[in-house]
């Protein structure tokens, strides 16, 4: 007999009992909702036997881990369905991901979108059989023999890389089995609602030198209602895709001649310049000094900074007069060179050095994604050189500035993550202890809530990551602040303290937007391309109803231009309804409609994008409302 401790009490039962039997002994309703079991904190299959005293928790659909378990099981069912339909397919891997799962296959047949429905139908047949999903432990030799018989090339490669003495975990459902540590649902019938979403290509183990596999993405939920809600969310994501909006609104494009780099068109670059001007004014108001540093820098500097060792694979390399050079992937070593160019006194600190720095990183082509992931980008980057005593106030001032900027862009939900030391890092443990303690103490004093992002700090120091939540409730990590006690020492940066001694400064790496490219992509998706008035590349379109009102419309248009507003005029012979539709499609925030009535009464009529209501006003009052809206970053000129 063994003792089982649950949250609500203890039971004594026979050795070898499993979680499914325990759940049923408690209640039928619990057994029906049970998904898996946590045994002494380790999540396992409900069908795993328990042979010794243990603390357990029955995981149900209400637990956060449950959805991942069901999706993992759905991936296995999909793999079985593919093998039934395409007998010569080879299985690679099939993990869960955020909101779903995927599985990679190697097969001579090229899958098409219509095949997804066939695979779904086969999956429904497997689920309807409600076959038990059973864990099984075998030796490495047994596993090699088993998967050799199946000619399972990719599974064998995984197995052969394991330790010789390591036991192999399998899961079976009927005649199907797969290499997997689990956990899984107790049976295929526990899969409630699922949908296969799309096809993609993926290199085996992410290595472009290895075979290209076919990947099937899917999602699974505990109810059809939740699945339908998620599919509706995906439709909205497609509508808001910044890549499509970039083409439709004539903002930017990409082409193979410059992979991962943006061709900004006039309208897109207008948004870019507006954001740059806004950030520059914030920098001036917060006593930053702006600098500009070279794009290509000798390998020697990157070796001294540590980037050559830690970051070389992501750097774009070139040569000049037999010297190895690299396009800078970040600005920090160059900023230290400016700091080092003259003797700095403690009286000069803090020095806040900002740059709209052009950087390049050798991102894999498969990871590129419109503006969200590029090879060439510009950061709203800055480095603060300060003393340990000044660090707290500098961190606080930066956090205040960052939240102020996000508010102006319409982001009010900001989550902070504290990323501590990674496994691969520079500097001693003592240095890291000082940096982490100082950063943690500062944000604790500010009463800022945060979660721990274990092991995700920069190689030179801990960091804060600022995560925005958008209109679709998606998370975007944009701003960062990093405490660096390593780079100033590596690059021999020092100031003269009050005792006349040389001392290394604290270096704070910080960015608010992250990169202009990615932040503009986020804004486009946040607003579905309907940019707020102050960010819109074309803010106002002046539209004439008849030729008789053309001269008056030209006067209005010029007055708007003189006030620094982005205005266009359309005096074409097209009917007014056609003109209105045209500029609505271009997502222009304000449409001024000028006819004989407006000319005679010497005023204007306007419509706000998204509204059919027409308002008539004096032009000077209209301009006053518009400029006030832009100045205060309002979203409606009538507010």
Catalytic residue among 178, 381, 484, 570: 381
Residue 509 annotated in ligand binding: yes
Residue 588 has pLDDT above 70, yes or no: yes
Specify whether the CB–CB gap between 492 and 507 falls below 8 A. no
- Cis peptide bond prior to 121, omega within 30° of 0: no
Which alpha helices (DSSP H) does 34-105 contain, by range?
A: 66-85
Catalytic residue among 173, 214, 379, 539: 379
Q: Active site includes 509?
A: yes
Q: Give per-residue pLDDT as tens, 380-409.
A: 999 999 998 999 899 999 999 999 999 999
Q: Active site includes 557?
A: no
Mean per-residue pLDDT, 410-421: 92
So what's the pLDDT on residue 161?
86
So what's the pLDDT on residue 178?
94
Interaxial angle between packed helices 153-160 and 140-149, expressed in degrees from 0 to 180 and rounded to the nearest 10: 160
Which is higher by pLDDT, 237 or 6?
A: 237
Residue 533 has pLDDT above 80, yes or no: yes
Counting DSSP H helices and E strands in the chain, the numbers are 20, 36
Q: Give per-residue pLDDT as tens, 428-477.
A: 888 888 889 888 988 898 888 899 999 999 888 899 999 999 989 899 99
Catalytic residue among 76, 360, 463, 518: 463
Nearest CA among 21, 64, 75 for reference residue 45 = 21
Residue 535 has pLDDT above 80, yes or no: yes
- From residue 445, alpha-carbon distances to 21, 39, 88, 441, 559 in Å are 50, 39, 61, 6, 51
Q: Active site includes 361?
A: yes
Q: Give per-residue pLDDT as tens, 331-361.
A: 999 999 999 999 999 999 999 999 999 999 9
So what's the pLDDT on residue 639?
65
Which residues neighbour 418 within 8 Å (Cβ) at sequence distance 6 or greater?
439, 440, 443, 450, 451, 452, 453, 462, 464
Catalytic residue among 155, 282, 335, 509: 509
Residue 332 annotated in ligand binding: yes
Mean per-residue pLDDT, 488-493: 93
Nearest CA among 288, 80, 237 for reference residue 172 = 80
CA pair distance 542, 576, nearest whole angstrom:
11
Instruction: Give whichever of 175-184, 463-472, 513-522 has the largest mean pLDDT.
Output: 513-522
pLDDT band at 207 (very low <50, low <70, confident <90, very high): confident
Residue 121 has pLDDT above 70, yes or no: yes
Specify whether the CB–CB gap between 178 and 186 falls below 8 A. no
Q: Active site includes 381?
A: yes
Catalytic residue among 383, 421, 566, 607: 383
Catalytic residue among 178, 195, 307, 332: 332
Q: What are phi and psi of 192, to 5 degrees?
A: -90, -60
Quick one: tokens of 21? 């039997």
- From residue 349, alpha-carbon distances to 343, 352, 439 in Å are 12, 9, 19
Q: Give per-residue pLDDT as tens, 314-332.
A: 899 999 888 999 999 999 9
Mean pLDDT taken over the chain: 93
Q: Give per-residue pLDDT as tens, 536-578.
A: 999 999 999 999 999 999 999 999 999 999 999 999 999 999 9
Mean per-residue pLDDT, 58-75: 92
Residue 383 annotated in ligand binding: yes
């Amino acid at each position: 007999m063994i003792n089982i401790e649950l949250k609500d009490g203890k039971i004594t039962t026979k050795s070898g009992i499993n979680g499914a039997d325990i759940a049923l002994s408690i209640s039928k309703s619990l057994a029906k909702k049970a998904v898996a079991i946590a045994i002494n904190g380790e999540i396992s299959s409900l069908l795993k036997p328990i042979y010794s005293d243990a603390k357990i928790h029955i995981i149900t659909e209400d637990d956060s881990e449950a959805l991942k378990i069901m999706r993992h099981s759905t991936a296995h069912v999909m793999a079985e369905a593919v093998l039934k339909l395409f007998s010569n397919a080879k299985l690679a891997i099939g993990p869960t991901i955020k909101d779903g799962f995927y599985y990679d296959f190697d097969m001579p047949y090229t899958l098409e979108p219509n095949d997804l429905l066939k695979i779904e139908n086969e999956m429904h047949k497997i689920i309807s059989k409600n076959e038990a999903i059973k864990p099984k432990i075998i030796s490495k030799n047994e596993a090699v023999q088993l998967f050799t018989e199946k000619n399972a090339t990719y599974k064998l490669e995984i197995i052969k890389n394991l330790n010789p003495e390591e036991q192999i975990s399998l899961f079976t459902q009927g005649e199907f089995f797969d290499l997997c540590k689990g956990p899984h649902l107790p049976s295929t019938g526990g899969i409630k609602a699922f949908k296969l979403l799309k096809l993609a290509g993926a290199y085996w183990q992410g290595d472009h030198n290895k075979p290209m596999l076919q990947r099937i993405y899917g999602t699974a939920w505990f109810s059809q209602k939740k699945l339908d809600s998620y599919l509706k969310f995906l439709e909205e994501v497609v509508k808001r895709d910044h890549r499509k909006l970039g083409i439709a609104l004539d903002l930017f494009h990409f082409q193979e001649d410059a992979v991962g780099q943006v061709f900004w068109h006039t309208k897109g670059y207008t948004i870019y310049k507006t954001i740059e001007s806004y950030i520059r004014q914030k920098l001036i108001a917060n006593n930053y000094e702006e600098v500009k540093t070279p794009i290509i820098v000798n390998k020697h500097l990157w070796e001294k900074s540590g980037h050559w060792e830690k970051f070389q694979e992501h750097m774009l390399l070139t040569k000049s007069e037999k010297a190895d050079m690299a396009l800078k992937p970040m600005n920090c070593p160059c900023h230290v060179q400016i700091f080092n160019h003259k003797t700095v006194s403690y009286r000069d600190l803090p020095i806040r050095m900002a740059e709209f720095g052009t950087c390049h990183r050798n991102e894999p082509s498969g990871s590129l994604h419109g503006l969200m992931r590029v090879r060439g980008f510009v950061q709203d980057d800055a480095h603060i050189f300060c003393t340990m005593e000044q660090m707290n106030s500098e961190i606080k001032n930066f956090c205040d500035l960052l939240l102020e900027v996000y508010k102006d862009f319409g982001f009010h939900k900001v989550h902070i993550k504290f990323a501590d030391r990674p496994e691969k890092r520079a500097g001693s443990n003592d240095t890291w202890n000082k940096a982490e303690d100082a950063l943690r103490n500062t944000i604790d004093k500010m009463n800022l809530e945060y979660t721990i992002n274990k092991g995700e700090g920069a190689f030179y120091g801990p960091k804060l990551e600022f995560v925005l939540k958008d209109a679709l409730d998606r998370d975007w990590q944009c701003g960062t602040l990093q405490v660096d006690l390593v780079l100033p020492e590596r690059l021999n940066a020092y100031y003269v303290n009050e005792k006349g001694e040389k001392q290394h400064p604290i270096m704070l790496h910080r960015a608010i937007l992250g990169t202009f490219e990615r932040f503009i992509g986020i804004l486009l998706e946040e607003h579905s391309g309907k940019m707020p008035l102050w960010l819109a590349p074309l803010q106002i379109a002046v539209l004439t109803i008849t030729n008789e009102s053309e001269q008056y419309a030209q006067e209005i248009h010029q007055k708007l231009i003189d006030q620094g507003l982005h205005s266009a005029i359309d005096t074409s012979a097209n009917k007014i309804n056609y003109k209105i539709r045209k500029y609505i499609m271009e997502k222009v925030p304000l449409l001024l409609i000028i006819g004989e009535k407006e000319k005679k009464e010497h005023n204007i009529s306007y419509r706000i994008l998204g509204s059919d209501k027409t308002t008539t006003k004096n032009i000077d009052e209209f301009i006053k409302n518009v400029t006030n809206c832009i100045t205060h970053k309002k979203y409606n000129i009538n507010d």
